[in-house]
């Protein structure tokens, strides 16, 4: 392999989107992925929701890149015939406290530029979703769904068209700085490999703190240490109880157990949120936890069979006792690593934000690194 101009570590939706964008105007772009195929980690284990942007404080990267990514994704899906459904979402309030929380989401959404939001009362809710039994909800029509693998396939095809190379079964286990950039080494299809690169974009998801640590960055002092936070899903059997996305107000580390239709029309419950020490995708939560939670706003859920479905693991910067933490997306030149762009803590809304993150990284590259 010739020396890479840009080495992207990780082929999830973010690494692929970044590769598709950077390879438009740059040669010798390589993507290194430890698994045998792209999208086998977080990007292949999520809800597939195109979020509107109501959940993040104004001015945060999460807010900006989610709202921008939402609009970009719908354009992209239209232009490239990627299937999607703009179903709209109801966020429901079940107590006076939750009504205040709903007001806060409305304020954040307004400041963040989320289009067409409005509060709806029980009559309107009943017309839209007869099985949802609440007095008040926040309607966000710009929320939708897509199949994440279709989106990743699109970005992958773009990278191929632009002559970027995806090296699968290639795990980066060591990084050092060398003259003019970095040397990456590890194993590729069972053999040792090493390659130099002028620029590294760390899109390693749950492994992104480890990648940053390989270069000697103090991930604890910098607040880069990840706290993996798992979410399980259950699938609802029989006639789908809802057509739209229906969420409670967020609580704890997740968005609350919600109902999300998938592209096939079937509905999943989840994800819940619990911190874990190691990453696995086995559903370990109880059916009762899910049923009890959802029964509060969709009572008919008690008539449905629900079965364990799948799980995902969030690469969270926010530990169990922390408040909101934003995405880290930055060029680490000020720490002595010219040419290193770290992306750490890219949890939800990372799927929605992916095309906007890619443009953001491209702007950093063009403005600060490209010579």
Ligand X SMILES: Cc1cc2nc3c(=O)[nH]c(=O)nc-3n(C[C@H](O)[C@H](O)[C@H](O)COP(=O)(O)OP(=O)(O)OC[C@H]3O[C@@H](n4cnc5c(N)ncnc54)[C@H](O)[C@@H]3O)c2cc1C
Our finding on whether 345 is near ligand X (CB under 6 A) is no
Binding-site member from 4, 12, 68, 267 for ligand X (CB under 6 A): 12
Binding-site member from 19, 22, 30, 33 for ligand X (CB under 6 A): 33
Give the 3-state secondary structure of 115-168. CCCEEEEHHHHHHHCCCCCCCEEEEECCCEEECHHHHHHHHHHHHHHCCCEEEC
Provide the minimum distance between the beta carbon of 334 and ligand X in the complex, in angstroms, as a whole number: 23
Cα dist. 120→93, 140, 143 in Å?
A: 11, 10, 16
Our finding on whether 166 is near ligand X (CB under 6 A) is no
Task: Please state, in angstroms and rounded to a whole number, the distance separating the CA atoms of residues 82 and 59.
Answer: 30
Our finding on whether 248 is near ligand X (CB under 6 A) is no
Q: Which is nearer to ligand X, 41 or 332 (CB)?
A: 41
The H or E element that residue 287 is part of is: helix 287-295
Q: Which is nearer to ligand X, 124 or 149 (CB)?
A: 149
Our finding on whether 271 is near ligand X (CB under 6 A) is yes
Q: Which is nearer to ligand X, 241 or 271 (CB)?
A: 271
Task: Please state, in angstroms and rounded to a whole number, the distance separating the CA atoms of residues 264 and 206.
Answer: 28
Our finding on whether 352 is near ligand X (CB under 6 A) is yes
Provide the minimum distance between the beta carbon of 34 and ligand X in the complex, in angstroms, as a whole number: 4
Residues 6 or more apart in contact with residue 299 via CB below 8 angstroms: 131, 133
Our finding on whether 259 is near ligand X (CB under 6 A) is no
Provide the minimum distance between the beta carbon of 156 and ligand X in the complex, in angstroms, as a whole number: 12
Query: Sign of dihedral through CA atoms 44, 46, 49, 55?
Result: negative
If 0-12 CB within 10 Å is exposed, 13-18 middle and 19+ buried, where does residue 137 land?
A: buried
Our finding on whether 350 is near ligand X (CB under 6 A) is yes
Our finding on whether 231 is near ligand X (CB under 6 A) is yes
Residues that bind ligand X (CB under 6 A): 9-15, 32-35, 40-43, 45-49, 51, 171-172, 203-207, 211, 231, 271, 312-314, 346-352
């Amino acid at each position: 392999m010739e020396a890479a101009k840009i080495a992207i570590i990780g082929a999830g939706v973010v690494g692929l989107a970044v590769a598709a964008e950077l390879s438009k105007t740059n040669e010798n772009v390589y993507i290194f992925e430890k698994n045998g195929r792209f999208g086998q980690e977080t990007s292949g284990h999520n809800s597939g929701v195109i979020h509107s942007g109501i959940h993040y404080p104004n001015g945060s990267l999460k807010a900006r890149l989610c709202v921008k990514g939402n609009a970009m994704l719908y354009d992209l899906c239209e232009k490239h015939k990627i299937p999607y459904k703009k179903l709209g979402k109801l966020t429901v309030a079940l107590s006076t406290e939750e009504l205040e929380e709903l007001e806060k989401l409305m304020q954040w959404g307004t400041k963040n530029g989320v289009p067409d939001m409005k509060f709806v009362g029980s009559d309107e809710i009943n017309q839209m979703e007869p099985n949802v039994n609440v007095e008040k909800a926040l309607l966000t029509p710009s929320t939708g769904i897509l199949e994440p693998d279709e989106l990743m396939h699109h970005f992958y095809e773009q990278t191929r068209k632009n002559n970027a190379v995806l090296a699968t079964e290639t795990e980066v286990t060591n990084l050092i700085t060398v003259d003019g950039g970095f040397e990456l080494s590890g194993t590729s299809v069972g053999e040792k490999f090493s390659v130099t690169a002028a620029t590294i974009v760390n899109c390693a998801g749950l492994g992104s703190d480890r990648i940053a640590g390989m270069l000697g960055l103090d991930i604890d002092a910098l607040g880069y240490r990840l706290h993996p936070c798992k979410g399980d899903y259950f699938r609802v059997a029989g006639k789908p109880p809802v057509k739209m996305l229906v969420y409670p107000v967020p609580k704890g580390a997740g968005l609350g157990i919600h109902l999300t239709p998938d592209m096939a029309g079937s509905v999943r419950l989840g994800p819940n949120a619990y911190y874990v020490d190691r990453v696995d995708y086995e559903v370990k939560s109880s059916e009762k936890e899910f049923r009890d939670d959802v029964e509060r706003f969709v009572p008919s859920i008690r008539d449905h069979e629900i079965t364990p479905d799948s799980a995902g693991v969030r690469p969270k910067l926010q530990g169990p006792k922390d408040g909101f933490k934003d995405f880290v997306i930055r060029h680490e030149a000020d720490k002595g690593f010219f040419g290193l762009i770290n992306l750490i803590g890219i949890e939800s809304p990372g799927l929605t934000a992916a095309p906007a993150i890619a443009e953001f990284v491209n702007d950093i590259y063009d403005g600060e690194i490209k010579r």
